[in-house]
């Protein structure tokens, strides 16, 4: 009996899934957890890893294995986090399959503890105005309450060009806040750039980058930025999954999904829902939910986007990690009709982004350069809402730190990403011959 079958037989009758992966009030510890980089170079090896990644959350509880990136092609690396008690076992299994592997993170728990220290160090600043001292704000990752307070403070001193709107409520009762920035206009047809982040809870660099972009749009004295605010309204949602994000801060740093019956936010959109790259198993990290838009967060966001779809010129979802600018489709390896334009725009953004710090981003369709992920927001935005320029940004890094990116990278990531998006906005303005609005 093979490895998967043995575990299946043992655990078949056990309900491994619940919305809580750790005991109440007990934080999940990652001391001694390692991240391995695997390199399948035969079809059998690829199939073995694919089977393992598909079934792992159903069959192996308590994150003994957690695939940070998914198996896709021969000679494409796969990153997997391994618990201390399972490390020897999995290395033996990989050896039996002749799968090349190496340790790329020696102790995930150590990185998490370093991250916590930066949060504790920021306590000094929490009685001060972060808006007046934004450099301090971007020296740490923040709670949902702090993120929302920062948005409110940004708005309070920039009421002429900003607004805060609550567009829905999460499962646990938190507001979904949308920050809107742009020169006020009498027109109801002003073009919109939509950016959301934090869909996957553990990807902390994404909300911080969205906040950095909001701050930059508000505070920049650059004439090009001011001109873009006269052309566009920017709608920025720094945390699309605040319940999951807050749980990743308080209970399980590697939590990815929402807090309602375990769905993965990303697979819950109603476009080719339930197909390639998503799972019907509630334990899976890619569980797509009971039905399209079963989650209050995806329902609220999609309803709002549909109400503005004729004005939205670009949709961007921010994730981490891997340094990709991804276009549709995620449900198939076929390319959308407008792929050449999508690719060209993404490449221009990547070229601009690289200029500041030399950070290289690869550009292409989700399925072809990353992996299949049906039910994603970018596919839905392009295929249903009709937003031509729909993208996913997989931010820094390429695996040295993975999801636990140190805070020293918040500002560089924000700066380069802002530059790339500014280029995209300029290109879209020129393509559609968009004009500054009459104020």
Catalytic residues: 394
307: nearest Cα among 426, 403, 178: 178
Q: Give the contacts of 364 (CB within 8 A, at least 6 positions apart).
A: 324, 326, 327, 343, 346
Kindly state the tokens that stand for 329. Answer: 């489709």
Closest CA to 219 of 296, 161, 179: 161
- The answer to whether 233 and 181 are in contact (CB under 8 A) is yes
Query: What does DSSP say about strands 389-395 and 362-365: parallel, antiparallel, or unpaired?
Result: unpaired
Task: State the burial class of residue 207 (Cβ atoms within 10 Å of its Cβ: 0-12, 13-18, 19+).
Answer: buried
Residue holding tokens 């918040």? 410
- Edge to edge, the sheet with strand 100-105 lists 65-67, 78-82, 34-39, 100-105
d(CA 68, CA 428): 33
Q: Specify whether the backbone of 49 is left (phi greater than 0), alpha (psi in -120 to 50) or beta.
A: alpha
Q: Which residues contact 345 (CB under 8 A, 6 or more apart)?
A: 389, 424, 427, 428
């Amino acid at each position: 009996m093979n490895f998967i079958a043995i575990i299946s037989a043992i655990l078949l009758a056990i309900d491994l899934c619940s919305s809580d992966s750790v005991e109440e009030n007990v934080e999940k510890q990652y001391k001694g957890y390692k991240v391995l980089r695997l390199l399948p170079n035969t079809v059998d090896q690829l199939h073995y890893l694919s089977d393992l990644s598909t079934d792992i959350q159903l069959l192996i509880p308590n994150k003994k294995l957690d695939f940070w990136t998914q198996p896709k092609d021969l000679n494409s690396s796969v990153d997997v986090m391994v618990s201390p008690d399972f490390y020897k076992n999995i290395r033996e299994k990989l050896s039996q399959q002749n799968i090349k592997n190496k340790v790329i993170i020696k102790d995930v728990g150590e990185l998490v503890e370093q991250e916590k220290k930066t949060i504790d160090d920021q306590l000094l600043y929490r009685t001060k105005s972060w808006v007046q001292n934004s450099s301090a704000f971007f020296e740490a990752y923040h709670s949902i309450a702090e993120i929302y307070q920062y948005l409110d403070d940004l708005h309070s001193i920039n009421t002429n060009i900003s607004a805060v709107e609550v567009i829905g409520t999460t499962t646990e009762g938190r507001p979904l806040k949308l920050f809107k920035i742009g020169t006020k206009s009498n027109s109801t047809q002003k073009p919109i750039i939509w950016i959301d982040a934090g869909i996957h809870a553990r990807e902390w660099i994404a909300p911080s980058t969205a906040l950095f972009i909001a701050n930059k749009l508000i505070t920049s004295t650059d004439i090009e930025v001011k001109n873009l605010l006269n052309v566009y309204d920017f709608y920025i949602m720094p945390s699309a999954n605040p319940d999951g994000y807050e749980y990743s801060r308080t209970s399980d740093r590697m939590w990815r999904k929402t807090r309602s019956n375990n769905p993965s936010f990303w697979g819950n959109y109603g476009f080719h829902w339930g197909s390639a790259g998503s799972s019907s198993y509630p334990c899976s990290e890619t569980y797509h939910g009971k039905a399209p838009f079963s989650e209050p967060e995806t329902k609220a966001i999609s309803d709002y986007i549909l109400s503005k779809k004729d004005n939205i010129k670009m949709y961007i979802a921010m994730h981490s990690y891997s340094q990709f600018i991804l276009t549709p489709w995620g449900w198939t390896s076929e390319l959308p009709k407008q792929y050449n334009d999508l690719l060209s725009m993404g490449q221009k953004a990547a070229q601009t982004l690289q200029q500041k710090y030399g950070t290289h981003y690869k550009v292409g369709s989700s399925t072809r350069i990353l992996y299949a992920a049906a039910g994603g927001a970018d596919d839905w935005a392009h295929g249903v809402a009709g937003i031509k320029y729909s993208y996913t940004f997989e931010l820094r890094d390429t695996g040295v730190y993975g999801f636990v990116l140190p805070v020293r990278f918040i500002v560089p990531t924000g700066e380069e990403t802002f530059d790339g998006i500014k280029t995209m906005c300029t290109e879209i303005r020129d393509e559609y011959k968009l004009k500054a609005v009459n104020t």
